[in-house]
Amino acid sequence: MDAETTAAERTRAYLRPRLRIVGGAFVVGAVAGIVLVGVLVLVAGWAVVESARFTFALGTLAFGFALLGWSGSVMAGRGFEAMQEHLDAGTNWTERDSRRAMARVGGFGAGMVLATGVVEAAALAT
């Protein structure tokens, strides 16, 4: 039992900060997507479906950028760190920080995509 409890605690301790980073960005992206759809409808006079599709496209752009940036960080991050150390650049850029930032941007984009997809589905259902 102790080994299972310990494994569960380790899993929880591993996942909690990662889910907080991505989940927090996901919620912010969802709210931002709904707000942008509302602004486009109420202020700019767009139709709900067109504004949802536009916001969906912006969300996929953010998600795609994050996916590309995260993979670039993983692939070349240590090389950049070594180059900065060799050149004594002192920028404090790390692969870990870059992956973390891209995870946040990806969570934001995914939240925006999901929220605007729901808004569009609701608009089409009426």
- Could you give the CA distance from residue 27 to residue 13 in angstroms, rounded to a whole number? 21
Q: Provide mean pLDDT across the span 27-31.
A: 98
**Res 27 pLDDT > 90:** yes
- Could you give the CA distance from residue 106 to residue 26 in angstroms, rounded to a whole number? 8
Share of the chain above pLDDT 90, in %: 66
Tell me if 21 sits within 8 A of 100, measured CB to CB: yes
- Could you give the CA distance from residue 101 to residue 25 in angstroms, rounded to a whole number? 10
φ/ψ of 19, rounded to 5, equals -70, -30
Which two structure tokens, joined as six digits, stand for 37?
């759809």
* For the chain, domain boundaries: 2-125
Q: Distance of CA 31 to CAs 17, 35, 83, Å?
A: 21, 6, 39
Per residue in 32-67, pLDDT (tens digit) is: 999 999 999 999 999 999 999 999 999 999 999 999
Q: How confident is the model at residue 73 (pLDDT cuts 50, 70, 90)?
A: confident
- The pTM (predicted TM-score) of the whole model is 0.86
Per residue in 96-114, pLDDT (tens digit) is: 888 999 999 999 999 999 9
DSSP 3-state assignment of 79? helix
- Could you give the CA distance from residue 45 to residue 23 in angstroms, rounded to a whole number? 32
Q: How confident is the model at residue 95 (pLDDT cuts 50, 70, 90)?
A: confident
